[in-house]
Amino acid sequence: MDDESRKVPDVVQFQGNQTLCGIGGNLDNNYKNDVVYRNGTVFQITNNPVKYDAAFNHAEDSWITTNFLELRPNAPACVTGEQASNLTNCDSQNAATVCAPIQAAMSEDGPFSDCYVLGNDTIQAMYDNCVYDVCHAPEQKCNVLQMFARTCQAALDRLVQPPALIRVLLTFAIYVRICYKIIIALRLTYTAFSMF
């Protein structure tokens, strides 16, 4: 998705105070009234650009709805900004190392070298998402790498490059095997600790 598709059009219908709601802000050349709680209270912005701290996230989170179709039973519907910005238990260096093969695809290097066809923007976005996901939920690393492999596979299928596709599938099989070995090692470690 390019930046143009995420911008609010600068047209008369959207200009002025109270023409947009939610996290849309206002188009009235006054950044101080852009963040409004769901109850109408204006969040006090003192700096421009705004600091995205817990208070800001709390204001934005007030717009989260619970009125939607539940697609994943017993799973949280939405991660709040306050939760997402809490990096206290996050090992970003380890996450970056786990996700490095995705980023290496940009330079046609590593196990996903043929995935360069996705383009640097897509690869970088998937790398950033991988780091975020693995940082917050390290147990998801296999799923994140699998998602990248599937995205790459779909792109290669469209380009009809059977040799490259085979390499990606083999790479994915290797990652599945590595993840399986990690799971077995974790189970053995857990079993050893539970004996004490």
Whether the predicted pLDDT of 150 surpasses 80: yes
Mean residue pLDDT of the chain comes to 73
Whether the predicted pLDDT of 113 surpasses 60: yes
Whether the predicted pLDDT of 55 surpasses 90: no
pTM here is 0.47
pLDDT classification of 183: cutoffs 50, 70, 90: low
Whether the predicted pLDDT of 161 surpasses 90: no
Whether the predicted pLDDT of 192 surpasses 70: no
The candidate with the shortest Cα–Cα distance to 95, out of 136, 47, 46, is: 136
Predicted pLDDT at 168: 64
Q: Where are the domains of the chain?
A: 9-86, 90-194
Local structure of 27: helix, strand or coil:
strand
The candidate with the shortest Cα–Cα distance to 87, out of 132, 29, 149, is: 132
pLDDT classification of 1: cutoffs 50, 70, 90: very low
Lowest mean pLDDT among 45-59, 70-84, 141-155, 180-194: 180-194
Distinct helix (H) and strand (E) counts, the chain: 6, 0
Rounded CA-CA distance 41/57 in Å is 14
Whether the predicted pLDDT of 110 surpasses 80: yes
Rounded CA-CA distance 99/94 in Å is 9
Q: Is residue 27 within 8 Å of residue 14, measured between CB atoms?
A: yes
